[in-house]
Amino acid sequence: MKTKVAAIYGKRDVRLREFELPEITDNELLVSVISDSVCLSTWKAALLGSEHKRVPDDLENHPVITGHECAGVIVEVGKNLTGKYKKGQRFCIATSDGVTKRIFSGLQLRIFWRQCHLYDYSRNRH
């Protein structure tokens, strides 16, 4: 299966890249991303390239794939995760930035996770 990503190759150099996905492992999920956001750290990394403190020096040969805050639908479930996740289930990731103790503790992730999974979006479609 092929995928397309936005990857940072250098300062102000973001390119659309397509490649073949490897098979998932027993401990992984394959998620079809429906929505992805661009956070401030990604924006800064795209502007600064390797000058950003969290970006590798060799971006031309090892580009950074963007997108760590996203929502989608699970397409495939690794065998060790079948009791916890299922194909077709909505899935979201909201990473913590560590700014406050409340966010750093992971509370932000838990709250966002509950809102994403407990709200039945299918009942409110127009």
Is 7 inside any structural domain?
yes
pLDDT, one tens digit per residue, over 30-64 is 999 998 888 888 888 889 998 988 888 888 888 98
Q: Is the pLDDT of residue 87 over 60?
A: yes
Specify the 3-state DSSP secondary structure of 105.
coil
Query: What's the pLDDT band for 8 if we cut at 50, 70, 90?
Result: very high
Total domains in the fold of the chain: 1
C-alpha dist (Å) from residue 108 to 57, 67, 98 = 31, 18, 10
Segments forming the whole domain that contains residue 88: 2-95
Measured at the alpha carbon of residue 3, what is the angle toward residues 121 and 57, in degrees to the nearest 5?
A: 115
Domain-located, residue 113 = no
Percent of the chain at pLDDT exceeding 70 = 74
What are the tens digits of pLDDT across the range 93-113? 876 555 544 444 444 444 444
Q: Tell whether 112 is covered by a domain.
A: no
Beta bridge mates, 5: 17
Write the CATH number for 28.
3.90.180.10
**Out of 16-25, 74-83, 94-103, 109-118, which region has the weakest mean confidence (pLDDT)?**
109-118
In a domain, 26, yes or no: yes
Question: Tell me, what's the pLDDT at 53?
Answer: 84
End-to-end CA gap in the chain: 32
Structural domain contains residue 57: yes
